[in-house]
């Protein structure tokens, strides 16, 4: 965390010039890494485009810098409104690799911009994703047509607003279980892609759960064209690519660098360009009220602590926005052997006090049904649907053995929550909704 200055007090006089410069550098480099055009970076950091170019010239990361060659010695600075654009950015604009869009709230022509208030800027997408730590739905994207770049429809033209305070989003260090999950996914990412890719590629990459029940049948997300969408734990980003193809403005987030690398490959083959961010869903480095829809399919809501992820989702959603995610059921977790992963017909673990569940190869999280509902309510989220998925007849999955498939046809093995953010984001006692605390654990133990 950098300092304790509130957004309104962020200035060299209140924070000190050195800290102020450091904070401004952070506000410039973070959105640049996320692939935003330079002029959007300048608007978010509330500085001129010249300042952004100067900071990036001084950056230690070459791929953030659009043009390493500065202004030649003795060359006078161009008059405001007539400044030259670095050659690399000009080339990008000529080649059609980026289309600059003016956002509402931008500075007027002649104030930090070339004449007319528009500047061709280069946008570089980052990221990649997985179906695990951030969760994922991957599928074969090669041979698919380029994803159309959806323009904002009426009512959705606002850009994401940068958070001026640096103390909250993305400031929390990785938790112990997140560090372990990241390590586990780094080790198993290639195996996962090889063994489950064929299943996850079905239905255009849009299917829910272990049996990949098609979204077209469940209709959990609804119309996504023109929506700002965040996938928490996108894995190889096949879900995100599919939604981008349907006109959504997508951001993918995942904790595993290797899964993000795989997602970049799928993006390149599909011709899809949207930001991919390496971060934990427990502390997302994005501003409040940025999204209309947040979702994941056995993603971060399975592998991260819900007492952190649910408040984060509520923070990131706009009023009326939805959180939709699939995960295992509490019933499964009470019947599953946690050493060998086999499902039986007996209850072998406590239901009450369920939260963190350690398996030999992963850490997962689950809550009793009533605790999920309480947690949603405390964070201003209203339950709209709870789907306990039953496998379609004759459906097979690469995630379960034949015995486990038979179990899943008798008892619910997975579920999908759909909750919507209401107008009230505080609890009944007036405290912020993000103060949710986990109940004292009773200590789950195998039953005799």
Distance (Å, whole) CA 234 – CA 226: 19
> What per-residue confidence (pLDDT) applies to 340?
74
Q: Answer whether 317's CB lies under 8 Å from 311's CB.
A: no
Give the pLDDT confidence of 64-83 residue by residue, as tens digits. 655 433 333 444 443 333 33
Average pLDDT over residues 16-33: 56
Domains, the chain, ordered by start:
10-68+88-97 (no CATH), 176-435 (3.40.50.150)
> What per-residue confidence (pLDDT) applies to 111?
36
Give the pLDDT confidence of 119-167 residue by residue, as tens digits. 322 222 322 222 333 333 333 333 333 443 344 333 433 333 333 222 3
Global pTM?
0.62
Query: Does residue 315 carry a pLDDT above 70?
Result: yes
Query: Does residue 218 carry a pLDDT above 90?
Result: yes
Query: Does residue 43 carry a pLDDT above 50?
Result: yes
Percent of the chain with pLDDT strictly greater than 90:
49
Distance (Å, whole) CA 360 – CA 363: 8
> What per-residue confidence (pLDDT) applies to 8?
34
> What per-residue confidence (pLDDT) applies to 12?
36
Give the pLDDT confidence of 372-397 residue by residue, as tens digits. 999 999 999 999 999 999 998 888 99
Lowest mean pLDDT among 6-20, 114-128, 131-145, 393-407: 114-128
Query: Does residue 411 carry a pLDDT above 50?
Result: yes
Give the pLDDT confidence of 255-307 residue by residue, as tens digits. 999 999 999 999 999 999 899 999 999 999 999 999 999 999 999 999 999 99
Distance (Å, whole) CA 366 – CA 307: 11
Confidence of residue 26 (pLDDT cuts 50, 70, 90): low
Q: Answer whether 380's CB lies under 8 Å from 424's CB.
A: yes
Percent of the chain with pLDDT strictly greater than 70:
60
Lowest mean pLDDT among 111-115, 168-172, 278-282, 386-390: 111-115
């Amino acid at each position: 965390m950098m300092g304790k200055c509130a957004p309104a007090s962020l200035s060299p006089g209140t924070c000190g010039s050195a800290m102020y410069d450091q904070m401004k550098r952070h506000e410039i480099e973070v959105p640049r890494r996320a692939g935003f055009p330079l002029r959007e970076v300048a608007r978010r950091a509330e500085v001129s485009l010249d300042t952004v170019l100067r900071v990036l010239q001084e950056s230690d990361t070459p791929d953030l810098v659009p043009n390493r060659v500065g202004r030649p010695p003795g060359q006078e600075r161009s008059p405001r409104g007539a400044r030259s654009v670095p050659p690399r950015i000009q080339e990008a604009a000529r080649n059609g690799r980026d289309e600059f869009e003016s956002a509402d709230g931008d500075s007027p022509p002649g104030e930090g911009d070339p004449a007319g208030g528009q500047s061709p800027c280069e946008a570089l997408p980052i990221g990649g994703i997985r179906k695990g730590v951030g969760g994922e739905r991957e599928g074969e994207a090669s041979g698919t047509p380029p994803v159309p770049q959806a323009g904002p429809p009426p009512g959705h033209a606002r850009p994401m607003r940068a958070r001026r305070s640096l103390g909250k989003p993305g400031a929390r260090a990785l938790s112990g279980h997140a560090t372990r999950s990241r390590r586990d996914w780094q080790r198993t990412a290639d195996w996962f892609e090889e063994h489950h890719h064929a299943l996850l590629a079905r239905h255009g990459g849009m299917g829910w759960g272990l049996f990949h029940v098609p979204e077209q049948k469940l209709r959990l997300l609804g119309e996504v064209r023109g929506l700002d969408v965040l996938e928490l734990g996108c894995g190889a980003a096949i879900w995100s690519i599919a939604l981008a193809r349907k006109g959504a403005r997508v951001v993918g987030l995942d904790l595993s660098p290797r899964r993000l690398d795989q997602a970049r490959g799928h993006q390149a083959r599909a011709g899809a360009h949207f930001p991919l961010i390496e971060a934990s869903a427990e502390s997302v480095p994005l501003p409040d009220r940025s999204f209309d829809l947040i979702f994941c399919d056995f993603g971060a809501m399975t592998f991260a602590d819900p007492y952190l992820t649910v408040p984060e989702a509520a923070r990131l959603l706009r009023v009326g926005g939805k959180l939709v995610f699939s995960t295992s059921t509490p019933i499964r977790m009470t019947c599953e052997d946690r050493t060998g992963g086999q499902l039986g017909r007996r209850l072998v673990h406590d239901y009450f006090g369920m939260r963190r569940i350690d398996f030999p190869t992963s850490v997962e999280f689950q809550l009793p049904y009533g605790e999920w509902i309480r947690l949603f309510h405390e964070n201003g989220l209203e339950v709209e649907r709870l789907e306990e998925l039953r496998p379609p007849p004759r459906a097979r999955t690469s995630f379960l053995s034949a015995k486990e498939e038979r179990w899943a046809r008798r008892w619910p093995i997975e579920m999908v929550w759909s909750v919507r953010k209401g107008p009230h984001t505080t609890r009944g006692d007036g405290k912020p909704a993000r103060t949710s605390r986990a109940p004292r654990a009773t200590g789950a133990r195998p039953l005799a």
